Amino acid sequence: MNNQLRLNHRCGAKGRPATPLSRLFSAAVMAISLFAWLAVVVADENDSDDPQTRAERLEVMKGQAAAYTLTFDKSSTKLALHDEPVLRFSNPVSGVPDGIVAMWKDGQRPAVFAQVFQTKTGLWVHEVQSLAAGSLTMTQGGKTFWQPQEPYEEFRRLTDAAPVAANAGRRLVQMKAIAAEFAASDDFKISATDKEPTRHELRMLTTPIYRYADPEAGIEDGAVFAFVHGTDPEVFLVLESRTAESKSGKARASGWYYTLAPMTCWAVTVQRQGKEVWSLPERLGKSKPNHLYHAWLYTPAK
């Protein structure tokens, strides 16, 4: 995200091998320290944030997303906003106490991801990423906020993946196993005064944030996995099992396909089975309304 909103908190220590007694003591100390740290985080997240306030803010964020209209430029077809946010997240260390990931669909497939969130200083930020196969326009109240001019990159076929299973339960097991082969990291600066970025490994949420099928598009099964700081997504992995023909009648190989979509302005690297397969450079303050990724400060209507 822009405005140096990302931070991944971690700590560690090294020492000589411990005796069994000292291991027990160390474990007790670590448990107490972890409990204390979690208490601070929970208190920080919930400070002056009662359930009613959270519920009201959720409705505000959903309303901000719903106020946009997204349309394919060539066909004037409107994209459908998914009924509910696919993820609600927070990152109190980085200054994001609450946010949602909204998603617009082309049929059942993800076409646009958007983060709607508020910083701890009260600023609203909207951040969008297109996965659409063509150019589109995002408007609100007659104003164009975003108009990416190019299609997103094609899905890549996983030629070495196991054959697609016949039932949905087994396919979910397969998708989780494939997703676990990927690892992601981003390089970001904690503050504007940092001269060099710091690399942070991202954690993958093992449960997909969205699962879908679109037989008319030749998609038998699909799932979106998120790589996160805390619960704050930085990269999405989209997996699909496809049949041999799409709705356009275009022949293609059946099997597993994937694409990766960033949700950050920082440099991102993704590996599969230990080999780099995808990366993007830092884009802090460089995104424009005609780019596939864009972020801006949002002023709610009064």
Residue identified by tokens 């909204």 is 102
- Give residue-wise pLDDT tens across range 20-74: 444 433 343 333 233 333 333 333 444 457 899 999 999 999 999 999 999 999 9
User: Over 60: is that where the pLDDT of 76 sits?
Assistant: yes
Residue identified by tokens 């971690």 is 10
Q: Distance between CA 264 and CA 10 in Å, rounded?
A: 20
* Beta strands 203-204; 198-201: pairing state: unpaired
For 274, phi then psi, to 5°, come to: 85, 0
Confidence of residue 302 (pLDDT cuts 50, 70, 90): confident
User: Over 80: is that where the pLDDT of 205 sits?
Assistant: yes
Counting Cα atoms < 13 Å in the Cβ hemisphere of 129 gives 21
